[in-house]
Amino acid sequence: MEQDYENLLLSEIILAAMHEDGVTVRKLADEAGISPTIIQGIRSGTIKISAQSLFKIFKGLGYNLLAERNGKIINLSNNKKS
């Protein structure tokens, strides 16, 4: 149940970001380098979001993912392979 909630939450965040920027499924798929089917599946909740897809999607939306540990900030977006 918790995993389903996390996927729903991530899906809603992606939807909100797409709406805010007026980004279509096809445009995001092109920017992220993943299939439009995956984007659509994430939007509809039929596909669970993998970490790799999540990084690509946020990068495609122009976001940097950051992590903080012991006061040190790490840019996760730069540490992921395309």
pLDDT digits (tens, 9 = 90+) for 45-69: 788 888 888 889 999 999 988 889 8
Q: Where are the domains of the chain?
A: 2-79
Amino acid at 79: N
Does 25 score more than 80 pLDDT? yes
Q: Tell me the whole-structure pTM to 2 decimals.
A: 0.74
Does 1 score more than 70 pLDDT? no
Does 73 score more than 60 pLDDT? yes
Kindly tell me the burial class for residue 29, based on how many C-beta atoms sit within 10 Å of its own C-beta (0-12, 13-18, 19 or more). buried
Q: CATH homologous superfamily of domain 2-79? A: lambda repressor-like DNA-binding domains (1.10.260.40)
Q: What is the pLDDT of residues 7-24, one digit of tens each?
A: 788 888 999 999 999 999
Q: 20 near 58, Cβ under 8 Å?
A: no
